[in-house]
Amino acid sequence: MMKNVLLLLADGYETYEASVFIDVIGWNLIDGDKSTKLFSCGLKKEVSSSFNQKCIVDYLVDDINVDDYDALAIPGGFEEFEFYKEAYDEKFLNVIRGFQKQNKLIASICVAALSLGKSGILNGRFATTYNKKSIRQDTLKKYGINVKNEPVVIDGNVMTCWNPSTAIDVAFLLLERLTTKENTNYIKSIMGFDDKIK
């Protein structure tokens, strides 16, 4: 049975953080158990990344039916490229709330955890976010979240991590939750991440 992943993009998203989900889910579709597929969405059809790369998304958030997806993936982004303008938009946050309401998997990278915090889904739960400047973790705490200064934090259906270096780990963890550990280790191996097999 196909497992669909929704990649939620805000203007100013970091390309690398989005690409880990695209690659891991895509490699699995072609060379793994072939059970995962990724679709992108945004508040508008053309979304600009940090550093001004353009992406045409598959769907607008208004067209999303959470029932059609098994997991949500959200890359972080740069304030300098107005990431928070869309990442804090109510329509963006409502997508997150919709996935949480159905207890579906939610994987975020770096400061995308701040969107999760603002949405209210992490109140009283454990999470992490960008760790090189205390302002981001301090902001996360203001949303009533127990911040752990750890590379990856999993609390139930939600995964957060602290910076781009941990992005690939979250993508592999998402694949493992959607498929199996054995299948994920195979994808790690054929992608050349043999040192990440545990």
| pLDDT (0 to 100) of residue 110 | 98
Q: Assign a CATH topology to domain 3-196.
A: Rossmann fold (3.40.50)
Residue 93 has pLDDT above 90, yes or no: yes
**What rounded mean pLDDT belongs to the chain?**
97
| pLDDT (0 to 100) of residue 82 | 96
| pLDDT (0 to 100) of residue 198 | 78
pLDDT confidence of 87, banded at 50, 70, 90? very high
Distance CA 142, CA 19 (A): 29
| pLDDT (0 to 100) of residue 88 | 98
Residue 196 has pLDDT above 80, yes or no: no
Distance CA 11, CA 125 (A): 27
| pLDDT (0 to 100) of residue 162 | 94
Q: What is the pLDDT of residues 107-165, one digit of tens each?
A: 999 999 999 999 999 999 999 999 998 999 999 999 999 999 999 999 999 999 999 99
Q: What is the pLDDT of residues 7-36, one digit of tens each?
A: 999 999 999 999 999 999 999 999 999 999
What count of Cα atoms within 13 Å lies in the side-chain half-sphere of residue 34? Answer: 2
Contact 127, 140 (CB under 8 A): yes
Contact 45, 57 (CB under 8 A): yes
The one-letter amino acid code at 50 reads S
* Residue-range domain boundaries for the chain: 3-196
Task: Give the burial string for 59-74 (b: 16+ CB within 10 Å, else e).
Answer: eebeebebeebbbbbb
Contact 42, 10 (CB under 8 A): yes
Task: Give the burial string for 163-178 (b: 16+ CB within 10 Å, else e).
Answer: bbebbbbbbbbbbbbb
Rg of the chain on CA atoms, in Å: 15
